[in-house]
Structure formats: structure tokens, C-alpha cells
A and B are shown apart, each in its own frame.
Chain A
Amino acid sequence: DTGVSQDPRHKITKRGQNVTFRCDPISEHNRLYWYRQTLGQGPEFLTYFQNEAQLEKSRLLSDRFSAERPKGSFSTLEIQRTEQGDSAMYLCASSGSGEGWETQYFGPGTRLLVL
């Protein structure tokens, strides 16, 4: 069990560019979550997948944001036409099914800076 991994760990981009982040959950976990954390705040929920189905999206996830989990394994989060307000840490978490499904395990995060 290698834990949740995220790539890249850091990303600097210019306003208006598109960026894509990847999350690899713990291998047997079928639930996957994305959160966003801005400086001085707790993480805020963005979206949730169960297997390949995206079951919930926060209103924080504007039309410029899209997330996928095509084969129910890794997930990608894409931000189009980035804005300076998108600068944040993007955290991915996963959890299993059955007993203990409520416990989410977090990756190290991708820190995005939009110039």
C-alpha cells in the first residue's frame, strides 16, 4: 500500500492557461474525492467519484473545472483558462467500501500558483 499519490506536486502557470492534475488512489479504494485548500483555510469539497461515476459536485466547481475517473482508478482534475483565484492546494483523497468506508486518506496535494 503506497498511499494516495498526486502529480505534479507543484505547478506554476500563467493566467489563461489550462492545467491538469492527476491523482492515484489507494489501489483497492473505489471512492475518490477532490478538495481545494486556500491559504489559512480548511479543505473545501469539490467533487466525489464512486468507481467511474461522478456522484457529487460542489458549486465551487465552476464550468472551467472538470474531473474524470475513466476506469475507476486514477482521476484527473482539469482547470481551463486559469485565474489567479484558482491558486490553491488541490488535495485528493480516497476511501474504500464496506467497513471503514467513511475514512478518507489524503494525498500530498498539488500546489497551484497562477501568475
Chain B
Amino acid sequence: GESVGLHLPTLSVQEGDNSIINCAYSNSASDYFIWYKQESGKGPQFIIDIRSNMDKRQGQRVTVLLNKTVKHLSLQIAATQPGDSAVYFCAEKSTIQGAQKLVFGQGTRLTINP
């Protein structure tokens, strides 16, 4: 039969607007979270991280919010620029059977419209 590819959620925003990318994680025991940006043909690039003892962390133009109650993570990008167009992944670090794993979400494709 025909195979079904991974359909990435997409978000389109106007240049200069703010964008919010959401992520639901699975393991309530995860203690560290990272947002990565992946441009076409490149590896994931670190954007910002947050530990589970925090609920907000800010970087340059980016803010990560963590809601452990509902296991939800968000990435806010302020004043988006064309260079922000990419696929964004959240990742959670879990310890499973003694082994540390960085587990990635499916990703969200962000498109910046001029």
C-alpha cells in the first residue's frame, strides 16, 4: 500500500510578527527540554533550553515556556525574520531504564511571509 509520510504541522506568519510554536511532551519524569531549529539540508541547531525546575526562560528574541501540569512546552519568537523559516523541534531528556535519551517531537514547519 501507499506509505504515509510524516505530516508536519505548519505555521505561517508575517515578517515582523511574533510566532508561537507549541509542543506536547510525553514523559512526566523528563527533566530537561530543548528547542532546536533545523534548516533545509542542515542538522538541528540548538536554540534554547529549560530545566524542569523553571517555567520560563528568555533568550535573544526567543522565550520558552514550560507547563509541567499539562506537559506542554512553547517557543515564542519575537519579530520574526525570513531567516527564522525552518522546522522547529522540541526535545525532552528522559531517563529510561537507566539510559538518558533525548527524544524529539515531530516538528513544526515555520514559514515567514514577506
The answer to whether A and B interact is no
Q: Which residues of B contact A (CB under 8 A)?
A: none
